[in-house]
Amino acid sequence: MDRTYRKNDLVTVTIEDIGTDGEGIGKVDGFTLFVKDAVVGDVAQVRITKAKKQYAYARLEKLLTVSPFRTEPKCPCHRQCGGCQIQALDYKKQLEYKQNKVRNHLIRIGGFEPELIDRVMEPILGMEEPYRYRNKAQYPVGTHRDGRVVTGFYAGRTHNIISNTECYLGVEENREILEILLAHMEEYHIPAYDEETGRGQVRHILIRKGFFTGEIMVCVVLNGKYGEKEYISHQAQLLAKLALIKGMTSVSASINTEKTNVIMGKEIHTLWGSPTIHDVIHVRDMKQTGYPCTGQQLDFAISPLSFYQVNPIQTEKLYSLALEYAGLTGRETVWDLYCGIGTISLFLASGAGQVCGVEIVPQAIEDAKENARRNGIHNARFFVGKAEEVLPAFYEGKQEEVSVSDGNGSEDLRHPDVIVVDPPRKGCDGVCLDTILRMQPSRIVYVSCDSATLARDLRILCDGGYEVKRVRAVDQFAHTVHVETVCLLSNRKSKPDTHVKLSLSMDDYYRIKEEGKNNQ
């Protein structure tokens, strides 16, 4: 290295790569620079903000040559806002970046051979329209220096609110709803919550829209007992205004008095309309293979506290893939771990003998049971608890359960055909992975929202006797660095896995299902 660099130095650099947080990466004299807001292909003058021995963080000062991959971002706040890290990068290039990110994690963290990954990895499924795709937004509420109540998004890695009611990732209705709520707070002098002091009333505003049904939910997170404080005393006027918005179906308050980063409180009070909204998801046959659980649509009830995929259009692709990878023939016993409101479970149920879903949030499990009833599905059961506790309890016979589809249910549940997991970003708990390995399913379908933890967990499963058969990324989160991945693993000890090639006609499928029923 020829020289070292210090804070505030100005450096000219060519950006050659994109980092895991979306930052541009370039090298000068063997010294690596991580430059926020720089796009791969840019030549830029940058100012060093933090210097280490061999690398430094820097800020974009001046673009000298504009990258051909730069595009005009729609949102004027995209640089300050922590939500979109790569909005200035051309969408095609974003997809390429995400495909590489998953590949690199599998190779570097998972220790898989590049040749294997290149053989099993299919091209990323991108979005047709990369804006206005989110069905859910959670806006923090705070007080501006000038005393106004504001809402918007946190600046990257901080809790400073960037005032913005027009996010182009969310639905158009968000703006009107936020403006009604802010005006109401101004009019009645309702204070925003202050994270430092723990005082004030309104913490967050959650808005969700069912894309298919058009139903809208608003949930205001309050720092106080429902009914006691000023917020509620003028509720009738507020509700009347919200009710006029097309699609408004549910308005509720969530009470969160904890000094925590967790947004929602556990207590929910419906103030107007219904406690849930509904939405419909369709899954399609991705490859016209004639798999049984394709071409269906199901209807889901969603509560304020329940997880529901945020990008409904891409979710249809994600679920279709997960079902295709599960390779069901109508007879299988399937576990769906981290099942949320039972979305994947219920699609699986239509093509399997029986399905058991496990989820930690009790309200989501209530929704899952209601969703099974609504859709007339009788071969799915749901359990509240941690996957790493419920699964071992079944395996070790501590949970007394009888199968819904046949007499030897408990044995089927101990050794299922397929296990689907869809954990949060931190991935699966070690006990959960260990129990999966002891259960020895023929196939594991891993749906992941963090390819680093996916790679770590796949390594454990592969060391335990599984092999990676298929991997495909799905872009659920355009303009952010996040990417969803679906992965199929098969048990090396199982009989040769024929399901990938198996092509059942719909007639075959119904025949097998009927036989299954008659054997009960």
The residues assigned a catalytic role are: 449
Stretch that binds ligand SAH, among 202-210, 254-262, 417-425, 467-475 (CB under 6 A): 417-425
Write down the least CB distance from residue 495 to ligand SAH, Å. Answer: 28
Name the residue among 304, 359, 340 with its Cα closest to residue 136.
Answer: 304
- Alpha carbon 496 to chain centroid, angstroms: 33
Could you say which residues in the range 316-345 bind ligand SAH, by CB under 6 A? 338-340, 343-344
- Alpha-carbon separation of residue 148 from 138, 183, 263, 514 (angstroms): 19, 10, 22, 64
Stretch that binds ligand SAH, among 72-80, 86-94, 384-392, 498-506 (CB under 6 A): 384-392
Q: Name the token pair of 178.
A: 């936020």
Nearer to ligand SAH by Cβ, of 241 and 284: the residue is 284
Would you count residue 150 as binding ligand SAH (CB under 6 A)?
no
Nearer to ligand SAH by Cβ, of 304 and 340: the residue is 340
Write down the least CB distance from residue 278 to ligand SAH, Å. Answer: 15
Nearer to ligand SAH by Cβ, of 151 and 345: the residue is 345
What backbone phi and psi angles, to 5 degrees, belong to 36?
A: -65, 140
Nearer to ligand SAH by Cβ, of 361 and 500: the residue is 361
Could you say which residues in the range 252-271 bind ligand SAH, by CB under 6 A? none
* Dihedral sign computed on CA atoms, order 300, 305, 307, 309: positive
3-class secondary structure per residue, 121-189: EEEEECCCCCCCCCCEEEEEEEECCCCCEEEEEEECCCCCEEECCCCCCCCCHHHHHHHHHHHHHHHCC
Write down the least CB distance from residue 359 to ligand SAH, Å. Answer: 5
Would you count residue 309 as binding ligand SAH (CB under 6 A)?
yes
- Alpha-carbon separation of residue 328 from 170, 348, 501 (angstroms): 35, 8, 12
Name the residue among 427, 438, 435, 404 with its Cα closest to residue 487.
Answer: 427
Nearer to ligand SAH by Cβ, of 227 and 424: the residue is 424
Write down the least CB distance from residue 344 to ligand SAH, Å. Answer: 5
Count of residues binding ligand SAH (CB under 6 A)?
Answer: 19
Nearer to ligand SAH by Cβ, of 339 and 504: the residue is 339
Dihedral, CA of residue 295, residue 301, residue 307 and residue 310, to nearest 10? 60
Could you say which residues in the range 346-375 bind ligand SAH, by CB under 6 A? 358-361, 364
Q: 414, 395 in Cβ contact below 8 A?
A: yes
Would you count residue 384 as binding ligand SAH (CB under 6 A)?
no
Write down the least CB distance from residue 476 to ligand SAH, Å. Answer: 10
Q: Name the token pair of 297.
A: 């649509």
Q: Which residue is nearest to ligand SAH (CB)?
A: 340
* Dihedral sign computed on CA atoms, order 75, 80, 81, 83: positive
Write down the least CB distance from residue 295 to ligand SAH, Å. Answer: 19
Share of the chain residues as helix, strand and coil, in percent rounded to the nearest 5: 25, 30, 45
Would you count residue 387 as binding ligand SAH (CB under 6 A)?
yes
* Radius of gyration of the chain from its Cα atoms, rounded to whole angstroms: 25
Binding site for ligand SAH (CB under 6 A): 307-309, 338-340, 343-344, 358-361, 364, 386-388, 422-424
